[in-house]
Amino acid sequence: MNTPSYPHPIIAREGWPFIAGSVVIALLVSFWSFGWSIPLWIVVIFVVQFFRDPPRQGSTAANAVLSPADGRIVVIAEVDDPYAERRALKISVFMNVFNVHSNRSPVDGTVKKVTYFPGKFFNAALDKASLENERNAMIIETTQGHTVTAVQVAGLVAKRILCYAKVGQTLGRGERYGFIRFGSRVDVYLPLGARPRVSIGDRVSATTTVLAELPDEHA
């Protein structure tokens, strides 16, 4: 399955109200004093860069698992997947406020379950954030029959998780399915036997970076 055409080029739709509001405020202050408006124009630049959402192309290999987010790898470990109730390989991507924050499907497949969990707002780089922070878990069954769980996790200042995927929906790898505002993390749980293609500390880009390769046989 090929990456679908990108629906919201360059700037994420979630950012339009924030960008418009910050520009209006900066313009109003500019009419009064350009000097006092300079910090506000810096805020405008920050808001625009935060909500940038460029189109991406990634691997079309059938067993490739693509990064669901931009950021830094903070976890690669065999753990319990509490959402699909199994042992799994977990790979976590931590996003800071300067990363692109749209989330994209790591694999081709059908959404089997979407569950929202209220929680706390610890620093998303911490391990405990995976199970204690506000989060949204999506379980996907790939076209090869593998189960892949993608979990959007709120961070210290992230206050809104957006997930547009619905049960029964078919997602293509790299397809945009959600957004997290202002610093966060995405955990990906893969079947045991998946082979990581990243290391702790690596910088990754949504869709363009291959996180792992799924086993050749359904596990």
Query: Which active-site residues does the annotation give?
Result: 184
- Is residue 54 packed enough to be buried (19+ CB in 10 Å), middle (13-18) or exposed (0-12)? middle
| DSSP letter string, 68-116 | SSSEEEEEEEEEEETTTTEEEEEEEEEE-TTS--EEE-SSSEEEEEEEE
In 3-state terms, what secondary structure has residue 175?
coil
Place of tokens 């406020």: 97
**Angle of CA points 195, 196, 197, to nearest 5°:** 115
Determine the residue type at 161. I
In the chain, how long is the greatest CA-to-CA distance?
A: 67
In 3-state terms, what secondary structure has residue 179?
strand
CA atoms lying within 13 Å on the CB side of residue 36: 8
Which H/E stretch holds residue 139? Answer: strand 135-142
Q: Decide if 23 contacts 51 (C-beta within 8 A).
A: no
